[in-house]
Chain A
Amino acid sequence: MDPIIKLQDLSKHYGSQKAVNKLSLEINRGEIFGLLGPNGAGKTTSILMVLGLTEPDSGSATVCGYDATRNPILIKRKVGYMPDHLGFYPQMTGMENLRYIARLNGLDEASISQRTSTVLELVGLKDAGNKKTSAYSRGMKQRLGLAEVLIKSPEVIILDEPTLGIDPAGVKEFLELIKRLSAGQGLTVLLSSHHLHHVQQVCDRVGIFVDGELLAQGTLTDLSRELFGNTGLETVIQLENIPKSIDYLKRTFASNASIDAFDISGEVLMFRTTEDITPKLIRTIIESGEDILSVSKKEYGLDEIYQRYFENSNSKTSKGETGTL
């Protein structure tokens, strides 16, 4: 099956600054793809290029079989986009805002009323539909944004930082809503975020995007294997006292081929090993006459993935932000 979104070597510069550099990405139909990256990584710029709202300097974006630069109107008919800082006309009610967008999408009056109420119910704003949007909370606006995206019955929805500024309970609810919609209506979802935890809850696949470059993509398990598969495991052993025979221990560990690196500082021993040799280590230490207080194996979780990818970029991004102006 052809991918519904296909980006090839997409690049965009602002002056001398590279916002997006040779981005190639394929997103399949019905998939939830998370674009993950710190602020200013070029996520918004990439999304704008996918929608044909910004011209790429080079490369091409194909969405639903149309070229984004040449046929943006056709794409916008099939793609719903929710920007990160979305606003509504405050003098109109939620329902009126929705109707306006529906009319702009060429829906006829008869189906508009039916569709708006369906969509409002879907996002859980049925009771607030007749309230002016100036009275909406951030979370309600986000829901209305989603309703507006859904009203045109899109094939793809693109959400830019959809979880920004909503409380944790709201985030969870919102993400579940997205997941349900994607499953129920076969929607393809592309969402960008700098919150790994949010992305992890819903996304089938994740792309890690730093400084305009896609560093890695795949499922989260793939990513963690790819990242830490060769760096090995970390074991931390806490002793009761400072070891008496440090030299002996050092010699023993150094001769062990499975240990890449180790560090003895006071009562704490740290090992980085290629395979799990914890029992062996414990035995060695006990045989040398030391008492062990605790042993802990370090697991590579989401935080580490995040850390690992972004630690290199944090120093660079502080120079200038391109993501959201």
Chain B
Amino acid sequence: MTDTNKLIIPKVPSPFKVMAAKEITDLIRSWRFTLLLLLVFFTFAASMYIGVSNIRTVFNNTQDPDHAFLYLKLLTGGDGSMPPFHILLSFLAPLLGISMGFDAINTEMNAGTLTRLIAQPIYRDNILLAKIYSPIVITATLFFSLSLLMIGSGLLITGVRIEPQEVLRIMGFTLTTVIYIGFYLSLAILFSIIFRQPATSALSVLGIWLFFTVFYPMLVNLAVKAFMPDPAYLTQSQLMGYNELILNILRIAPNQLYSDAATTLLMPSVRSLGPMSMEQLSGAIPAPLPVRESLMIVWPQISGMIAFSVACFALAYYLFMRREIRS
């Protein structure tokens, strides 16, 4: 048997591909993914329903410079009974990332499968890469199909042609969402390497998520109230400076970055994420920006999120490669 193998060398998939395939299978078959999938799908369906039922009023609202972007309005529009899809996603996406990463390494370590895995002729970093690659592939597939589903059903329901600009914006928004999930995923994987108990790592990442979404803005507000001088005594430019500073502090939180980026991409008339002076605004016609300009505005946000993710993953990589694995 081994002799014939030597004669014909068949093409076999690389260990990385084998591991990624196995990880993807495991994730898709897991209960938690099914539950989250349902959650995301219901959120999507609910916001689509509201979007579609309000589309007539929104579309006819000529006061809104963005009113002509039917498909963007489907995503962002609503009657206020439910937050728009991208805001809901800024809560849901971290959950998705955390749930797929918090037990990536430690469960395998505790189960004794990791020891067997690293005794195979594979590079150790392939394990970690497969652990981050597979969830990203799954979430990317999920969100891109949701977007395409949205566009397709929009086409069917309204019969309105989609602008190329809208396609680019929606895809940009989807990509941003995937990057945002990637950040929480790499954070969760990092914690799964640091802590041996999956419960500890899950709670720690959830703690960080909760801190950034709930407590961080509150803390910043408190600090601002305590340290900022009375606005009545400040000049216009000083006030602007303070405003800018507060916004920048808030932007340490990844969810702030995400909602900034998502808002700008989905609402073409958003032309700045910071305060603007009257001089800057004077003469500006409230009109939608081209895609390129919107992308220029959100680029710092997106690169910030990528940087966060890469930093977490680099740390995870460092810790994992140097760790001695024994059962």
Q: Mark A50-68, 1 if CB is under 8 A from B, else 0.
A: 0101100000000000000
Name the contact of A86 in the complex, choosing from B2, B22, B123, B327 (C-beta under 8 A).
Answer: B327
Residues of A within 8 A of B116 (CB): 81-83, 86-88, 101, 145, 148
Chain B residue contacts of A103, Cβ below 8 A: 12-13, 15, 18
Which of A110-118, A235-243, A266-274 lies at the interface with chain B? A110-118
Residues of B within 8 A of A314 (CB): none
Map CB proximity to B onto A87-123 as digits: 1 under 8 Å, 0 otherwise: 1111100000000110111111111001100000000
Task: Assess whether A91 is in contact with B118, with CB atoms less than 8 Å apart.
Answer: no
A48 touching B113, Cβ below 8 Å = no
Q: Is A44 an interface residue (CB 8 A)?
A: yes
Instruction: Given the known inter-chain contacts A53-B119, A73-B123, please indicate yes or no for A107 contacting B1, CB distance below 8 A.
Output: no
- The answer to whether B230 has its CB under 8 Å from any CB of chain A is no
**Which residues of the partner chain A approach B74 to less than 8 Å between Cβ atoms?**
none
Question: Could you mark each residue 104-126 of chain B with 1 if its beta carbon is under 8 Å from any beta carbon of chain A, else 0?
Answer: 00000001110111111111000
Contact with A along B1-41 (1 / 0, CB 8 A): 11001000011110100110010001001000000000000
- Bits for B70-91, please: 1 = Cβ < 8 Å to A, else 0: 0000000000000000000000
Per-position contact with B for A169-198: 1 when CB-CB < 8 Å, else 0? 000000000000000000000000000000
Contacts of A83 in B (CB 8 A): 112, 115-116, 119, 326-327
Taking the closest CB of chain A, its distance from the CB of B251, in whole angstroms, is: 41
CA of A245 to CA of B153, assembled, Å: 113
Interface membership of A258, Cβ < 8 A: no
Q: Which of B2, B112, B113, B121 meets A105, CB within 8 Å?
A: B121
A77–B121 Cα distance when bound, in Å, is: 5
- Interface residue A260 (Cβ < 8 Å from any Cβ of B): no
A85 within 8 A of B: yes
A199–B126 alpha-carbon span in the complex (Å): 36
Among A81, A104, A110, A153, point to the contact of B15 (Cβ < 8 A): A104
Contact pick for A153, options B2, B29, B122, B327, CB 8 Å: B2
Interface string of B303-327 (1 = CB under 8 A from A): 0000000000000000000001111
Contacting residues, chain A, for B18 (C-beta < 8 A): 100, 103-104
- CB-defined contacts of B122 to chain A, threshold 8 Å: 73, 76, 104
Q: Does A201 contact B (CB under 8 A)?
A: no
Nearest-Cβ distance from residue B27 to partner chain A, whole angstroms: 11
Give the CA-CA distance A34 to B5 in the complex, in Å.
33
B112 adjacent to A48 (CB under 8 Å): no
Shortest Cβ distance from residue B82 to the other chain A in the assembled complex, whole angstroms: 36
Closest to B115 in A: A83
**B112 CB to nearest chain A CB (Å):** 3
Candidates B5, B112, B120, B123; contact of A111 at CB < 8 Å = B5
Q: Known interface pairs A76-B120, A114-B1. Does A325 touch B326 (Cβ–Cβ under 8 Å)?
A: yes
- Tell me, yes or no, whether A84 is within 8 Å of chain B by CB: yes
A221 to chain B minimum Cβ distance, whole angstroms, is: 34
A87-B111 in contact given A48-B324, A103-B13, A115-B1 (Cβ < 8 Å): yes
Q: Closest A-chain residue to B26, C-beta based?
A: A91
A324 within 8 A of B: yes
Q: Nearest Cβ distance between residue B86 and chain A, in whole angstroms?
A: 35
Interface pair B1/A44, CB less than 8 Å apart: no
A152 to B113, CA, bound (A): 17
- The answer to whether B327 touches A107, judged by C-beta atoms less than 8 angstroms apart, is no
Task: Find out whether the CB atom of A100 lies under 8 angstroms from the CB atom of B112.
Answer: no
Contacts A83-B116, A84-B327, A101-B120 given: A107-B29 contact, CB under 8 Å?
A: no
Question: Beyond the given A53-B325, A324-B327, could you list 9 further A-B residue pairs with CB under 8 A, ordered by the A residue number?
Answer: A51-B119, A83-B116, A88-B113, A89-B26, A91-B26, A104-B19, A104-B120, A107-B12, A325-B326
3 shortest interchain CB distances as A-B pairs: A87-B112, A108-B10, A85-B327
